[in-house]
Structure 1
Amino acid sequence: IEIYIFNLRRLQETLEIARRLRIQAKVHLELETGMNRTGLPLKELPQALEMFEQNGDALLFRGCCTHFAGAESIANYYRIKKQFNTFNSAVKRMNKNGIQPQQLHTACSAAAIRYPRTQMDMVRIGILQYGFFPSEEVLVHYLTRNRQESQPMKGILSWKSSVMEVKDVKKGEFIGYGNSYLANVPTRIALIPVGYGHGFNRSLSNQGRVLIRGQRVSVIGTVNMNMMSVDISDVAGVQPGDEVVIIGRQGEHEISVSSFSNFSDQLNYEMLTRLPANLPRRIVDIAED
């Protein structure tokens, strides 16, 4: 176990616990370089280094790190550059005093792609390990520099449901709550037992898409807490129990995490972490999926 520390109080607590357990705690010290979230203020760095020097039997300076304030967007370029320079300056001061952390790391998924110099001794990959880019901007950046790769990664997550009911709605009738969708023609709809309570954002009312029988169909009406309606008028033979793909591939079509996130005005991270724990998870073989 290696511990991530960002202030003197936690470093002192770690030292006390390590002494009590008679072990050497492996510590990664995060420096505040400009994000103004977690991170040890640089003015307190000498005190932290003194603690490492005087308590080497209980504290191992395993790593030194920082976190960038939005590496997924070029709009933050100068801020990221300043942070990286600040971090490097702090490390140089440590080295001049004979202190060398075993590892230096600053790069998250976005920084590892956009700013290769930030990779250093290791990278802290998050969303990339699931086969998703942090943002479309990062994907475009990668593809621009690797034109031979049209599909550089395969997402390991798909979100599926099934048709609960199929019914016909007469011309001139409203569908679902309120009057957000009026059937201007006779319309066949499928009810899907997925709603905003499952992470399918209410903002996708009348504009979301899902896949049924290999075709892209539109969400119509207001997304409910645990249900939504989709227009299957142009899809023949839809039956209760048919597979519904919310994120993933079906036939020749795919709904990506990025496109889903854009439709609902969310970050990829936001969308993925909003999938509730009560959604059943199933591990499948790649060939099966």
Structure 2
Amino acid sequence: MTTRSEPGDNRRDPSLSAIMSERRRLINLAYRLLGSLADAEDVVQETYTRWYAMTPRQQEAIESPGGWLTKVAGRICLDLLGSARVRRESYVGEWVPEPLPDRTEWTGARPGDPADRITLDESVTMAFLVVLEAMTPAERVAFVLHDVFRYSFAEVAEVVGRTPAACRQLASSARRRIRESQTPVTSDARQADVVRDFKQAWEAKDIRALVDLLDPDATAIADGGGLVTAMLEPVEGAERIARYLVEVAGLAPDLVFLERTVNGQPGLAAQQDGETVVVMAFDVAGERIKHLWAVRNPNKLRPWTA
């Protein structure tokens, strides 16, 4: 497996600078595969631990250090995805991928924070990550490695442990899932307008305005992780969602709503006493919100809170 970082990176150069230069790409890969920045950090740390557990002679024998690191990180992610389904069975309420802010809007990011190395594009939107979450681990790994990071199916097969032909089928199945879940494309500017109108309607506790902004069959999902109060099951239907949101606003009148970029798209963050307590991502189809994801789990709000 070769690396896709920089031209010439597949040469033999296991030096510290060459190895550490792969960190950004590995974080990007692991976050897309796992939907969790914390887990992505752990995967990359484990990958480097395995590299430095080898002798210098073993390292020098590896033709493409970047490719080796990718293969190892991919396999660790594959194992984690397999065990994640078991762990999620004991998770309190719904599980939502960890939201990422735009790097210019962070309140709590530290210098060198791994989130700074996540490239925000269409492959990290909340809607995209949620669809990935519904895939089998093998589908997810095959699709992300091939379609997002442009590895060949022969290279993907080394990670997944199946034939290139089988990996091709896995990626094809994943693409079909994505096509079936896609909503009509809405420009970022229009999405921002819809989210801004939603924010204003929520602040005003205007149920009718909220209903008008929501698709009649809209779905709202919250993730509190059992650590804070959050709805345990999805709320469906524009009327029910609107009434729930107004109820929440009434219980916390001191909430301050802010327009923020969430996973590369227009979203909202709500603060209480200067601390971010919820981050919301939206799937906007045309003029209305089709899906709404609210993350309240404080463990997933690290980059958002000072």
Shared topology, TM-score over 0.5?
A: no
Name the structure where helix makes up a greater proportion of residues: 2
Name the structure where strand makes up a greater proportion of residues: 1
**TM tier relative to shorter chain:** under 0.3
Bigger relative CO (Cα 8 Å, ≥ 6 apart):
2
Q: TM-score, normalised by structure 1?
A: 0.25
Q: Give the number of the structure whose alpha-carbon radius of gyration is greater.
A: 1
Q: TM-score, normalised by structure 2?
A: 0.24
